[in-house]
Structure 1
């Protein structure tokens, strides 16, 4: 996956990968269609953080979910 291009497709791929890693099946707050390319850099930062950790604590998962709630399109 080439994340150097700021595309909606890459946004969607990152969101789905993060949801899978966090095991957020419902993930209503993290529907990829709720995010735009304008937030690409923030999403990429979260993606790298989540993917770099073998596991995440409950508080880390909550923090990621909270950040995605903040980034969602209004």
Structure 2
């Protein structure tokens, strides 16, 4: 998948990957379709940070979820 191309499909892929990687209990409440390409670079930054680590502290997960909440439409 070419994530250098801004598309709604890529946004949805990245959000679903983030939810899976963080094992988010509230993942169902965070629909990938609630995010738009207008925040593509911010979402991609979070996606790349998530993929660079294997484990996250509770405070890191809370911060990531908070930031995703800010980026939702």
TM-score range normalised by the length of the shorter chain: over 0.9
The residue number in structure 2 matching 1:5 is: 5
For 1:16-35, what per-residue CA distance to the aligned partner results, in whole angstroms no more than 9, with x for missing partners? 0000000014321x211110
Q: Secondary structure at the match of 2:13?
A: helix
Q: Distance in 2 between matches of 1:2 and 1:59?
A: 31
RMSD: 0.9
TM-score (norm 1): 0.92
Return 5+ residue gaps in structure 2 as ranges: none
The residue number in structure 2 matching 1:38 is: 38
Return 5+ residue gaps in structure 1 as ranges: none
The residue number in structure 2 matching 1:47 is: 47
TM-score (norm 2): 0.93
How many residue pairs are counted as aligned between the two chains?
72
Q: Distance in 2 between matches of 1:72 and 1:18?
A: 14
